[in-house]
Amino acid sequence: MHYTGNTDQSSARYWNDLAKLYQKETRISTSDFHYGPLLPGDSKLKLLPAIGTPFQCLEIGCGAGQNSIFLAKQGAQCIATDISEKQLAHGRKLAAAENVTVNFRCISMDSLREGLLREGLLPDHAFDLIHSTYALPFSADPQKVIADAAAVLKPGGTFLLTTGHPLYTGEWLDIGDGEEGLFLPDYFRPEPDVRISPDGQTLSAAQTWPASTIAEWLHSAGLLIERFLEPEPMPIPDMSEAEVRAAVPYESNGWRELYPQLTRAPIVMLFKAVHQNF
Ligand SMILES: C[S@@+](CC[C@H](N)C(=O)[O-])C[C@H]1O[C@@H](n2cnc3c(N)ncnc32)[C@H](O)[C@@H]1O
């Protein structure tokens, strides 16, 4: 199969096919805000702004919306968007089980403002917080996603973006004496990570960009970067199962196997930016 780039149609098919397995194999907490595999949640990183009343949130590429459900539990009004109806269906079930209201909508991040308008969910500058955890890598037009997010953020509002780290696209090689080192062919033009769906029918690619490229996209969108983090994983081997459950909001057996690599190269980078025009 030949990879020709993600489109709304190919992404919807790929993620609809993967949704059941993804939600079954990954333990994603709704009691903390997660940023990625084996990483500390917001109870440790403390990047979320204080939740006022009212407090309007928008999640981009929400999956089953565990982060939106967490925010809704704190009293926020949450819209959670994704391209995959199957992922959204998991989210609706989970929110009902947790007894909270989250407005789940099928909107592509690549036409975010158009989608919000179509669904009657705008005026502009509507949101106090826009957040997205590892969805941007699947965008066909990431700079537009950031510009659209900035346009619908309230002046002074927060954009919390977690996206893939280009270093993690490197390859682990044996460098002698049983030691592994990371080989990165090109930091400035990282190769996409092309994946095949469980039914073998669709391809999807996760793309990363240099940290400075994302920073420039945020700057051009009128956002001011307040924090930039490359978080290290929690010390999983030193923790009991109960401690992992309590303090690691996103994990799976597959991710635990990758712990040694995760301790040596950041898998995500995390930007907290604020809308400057106020
Ligand atoms: C790695 S998952 C992350 C999901 C969720 N943020 C989490 O942390 O569990 C990536 C998500 O991006 C969604 N996605 C992919 N392409 C998209 C697009 N064009 N618009 C909106 N969501 C998209 C997928 O359906 C999937 O739910």
Regarding the beta carbon of 248 and ligand 1, being less than 6 Å apart is answered no
Chain segment 149-160, per-residue pLDDT in tens: 999 999 999 999
Q: Which of 13, 62, 71, 148 to mutate to test the pocket of ligand 1 (most atoms within 8 A of CB)?
A: 62
Give 125's pLDDT tier (boundaries 50, 70, 90): low
How far is it, in rounded angstroms, from Cα 249 to Cα 198?
25
Which domains, from first to last, does the chain contain? 8-275 (3.40.50.150)
Q: Which of 59, 83, 162 to mutate to test the pocket of ligand 1 (most atoms within 8 A of CB)?
A: 83
Copy the structure tokens of residue 82: 């994704």
How far is it, in rounded angstroms, from Cα 3 to Cα 47?
36
Q: Answer for the pair 145, 60: CB distance below 8 angstroms, yes or no.
A: yes
Regarding the beta carbon of 135 and ligand 1, being less than 6 Å apart is answered yes
Copy the structure tokens of residue 139: 């965008």
What is the average pLDDT across 237-265? 97
Is the backbone of residue 176 left (phi > 0), alpha (psi -120 to 50) or beta?
left
Model pTM score: 0.97
pLDDT-above-90 percentage for the chain? 91
Minimum-distance ligand 1 atom for the alpha carbon of 139: 19
Q: Which of 60, 109, 144, 148 to mutate to test the pocket of ligand 1 (most atoms within 8 A of CB)?
A: 109
The CA 126 to ligand 1 mean position distance, Å, reads 22
Is the pLDDT score of 278 beyond 60?
Answer: no
Regarding the beta carbon of 61 and ligand 1, being less than 6 Å apart is answered yes
Chain segment 23-72, per-residue pLDDT in tens: 999 999 999 999 999 999 999 999 999 999 999 999 999 999 999 999 99
Is the pLDDT score of 119 beyond 70?
Answer: yes
What is the average pLDDT across 212-227? 98
Give 12's pLDDT tier (boundaries 50, 70, 90): very high
Regarding the beta carbon of 84 and ligand 1, being less than 6 Å apart is answered yes
Minimum-distance ligand 1 atom for the alpha carbon of 87: 27
How far is it, in rounded angstroms, from Cα 25 to Cα 22?
5
What is the average pLDDT across 130-135? 98
How far is it, in rounded angstroms, from Cα 161 to Cα 177?
39
pLDDT of residue 178: 86
